[in-house]
Amino acid sequence: MPEFFGKTADDRDVFKFTLRNEHLTSVEIINFGATVVSVKTPDKNGVFAEITLGFDNCAQWLNNIPYFGAVCGRYCNRINNAKFSLNDKEHLLSVNNGKNNLHGGVDNFSKRLWTVDDYDESFIELSIISPDGDQGFPGEVRLTVRYELTAANELVINYYANTDQLTVVGFTSHIYFNLRDGGMTSILDQELQISADYYVPVNADLIPYGQLKVVDRSPFDFRVAKKIGQDLQSYCEQLCQAGNGYDHCWVVRGEHQKLRYALTLSDRHSGRIMEVFTTEPGIQVYTGNFLNGTIGRNGKKYQNFGGVAIEAEPYPDSPNQPGFPSVQLLPDEKYRQTTIYRFSVNVNDKESKFGEN
């Protein structure tokens, strides 16, 4: 059953919904921002604990500047100079990140109350209608997001959308993970492996140059699992940007629009493992470079590198980059995206499903 969580600034009710499976894994979601506010899984000793960054109360979630757990849209990540053209018509967007548009603009989807269409203990469906001209984007867009927690310990996120005129769309879930302790310590010694031979280089404003670059012999090479912080010093010496951490999109191997393996995050201390699968062309990895003491759960200050956001999504600034996979949506098309976070645990150096020894 939904639990009353608080009130919006205009006095509307915010509710929390808890998904559970047979292994006692739990995922909590609120209808404000369609936001994942908690994920709890066991460690190698069977102790359940929080593995995401977040806040204590509704008021904090309403002012969710880091986008903890929220659905971002209409277009996730950045659009250069907050504008793009479709059919020779320029569209000027809401500016909320320097001179750029970030995650949809000032009043993006993470800041709105969503409609709950259906739910039970294993899934929830939420929807939102974005009118023509919303934050400068053309066309009315209807988006439904379905979260499902499966018996296989997978958090499956499906996105469905349509439009009444040509537009651009890009959606993602902005969950920050720290598999050891939910943000109490750094993620730099947690291990990351990314199924990517290329990444998207960006300038100091985190806007792509428009081409892809091979990861080989660079700090962006995660083809073999390594600690997130292993090559950060080398990265900073080479690039000196992005808050001295990663905030980049990797090009996931395989055909986009088909579900495929993208990434593994693991923590040897707790034994927790998370694999990510997606239909999206890219996976953005953001190492919490600008958390800067954000006050989170239990009054804890989240320091830089306190969590890593794993965002399956199109490449940044795709509406302005003709060489990138198209993000256009036509009125006769049905948009669909799937991203899966699969949780497991390594017990005595042997990977195990939850509930098994």
Q: Residue 64 belongs to a domain with what CATH number?
A: 2.70.98.10
Rg (CA), the chain: 19
Per-residue confidence (pLDDT) for residue 242, from 0 to 100: 46
Tell me whether residue 103 is one of the annotated catalytic residues.
Answer: no
3-class state of residue 67 by DSSP: coil
Q: Is residue 210 part of a domain?
A: no
Q: How many domains would you assign to the chain?
A: 1
Any domain includes 254: no
Nearest residue to 284 (alpha-carbon basis) of 245, 248, 337: 248
**CB-based contact 78:100 (threshold 8 Å):** yes
In a domain, 314, yes or no: yes
Query: In angstroms, rounded to a whole number, what is the distance separating the alpha carbons of residues 172 and 332?
Result: 22
Kindly give the confidence (pLDDT) of every residue in the chain, 357 residues in length, as a single tens digit, with 9 standing for 90 and above: 899 999 999 999 999 999 999 999 999 999 999 999 999 999 999 999 999 999 999 999 999 999 999 999 999 999 999 999 999 999 999 999 999 999 999 999 999 999 999 999 999 999 999 999 999 999 999 999 999 999 999 999 999 999 999 999 999 999 999 999 999 999 999 999 999 999 999 998 999 999 999 999 999 999 999 999 999 877 766 655 545 799 999 999 999 899 999 999 999 999 999 999 999 999 999 999 999 999 999 999 999 999 999 999 999 999 999 999 999 999 999 999 999 999 999 987 555 555 454
- Which residue among 174, 191, 248, 313 is the active-site one? 174
Range of the domain at 143: 3-184+283-352
How far apart, in Å, do the first and last CA atoms of the chain sit? 32
**How far is residue 175's CA from residue 341's CA, in Å, rounded to a whole number?**
11
Q: Does residue 264 form part of some domain?
A: no
- Whether 50 is in a domain gets the answer yes
Give the C-alpha separation, 242 to 204, whole Å. 7
Among residues 223, 252, 222, 217, the alpha carbon closest in space to that of 238 is found at 217
- Beta carbons of 24 and 41 less than 8 angstroms apart: no
By DSSP bridging, strand 247-252 and strand 196-200 are antiparallel
Please tell me what DSSP assigns to residue 239: H
Q: Which residue has the tokens 């200050």?
A: 301
Residue 269 a catalytic site member: no
| Domain assignment of residue 300, yes or no | yes
Dmax (CA) of the chain = 61
Q: Is 56 left (phi over 0), alpha (psi -120 to 50) or beta?
A: alpha
> Does residue 337 form part of some domain?
yes
List residues bridging with 213 in a β-sheet.
199
Say if 255 falls within a structural domain. Answer: no
Nearest to 292 by CA among 243, 328, 240: 243
Q: What per-residue confidence (pLDDT) applies to 213?
A: 97
Q: Whole-prediction pTM value?
A: 0.95
Catalytic residue among 50, 154, 191, 311: 311
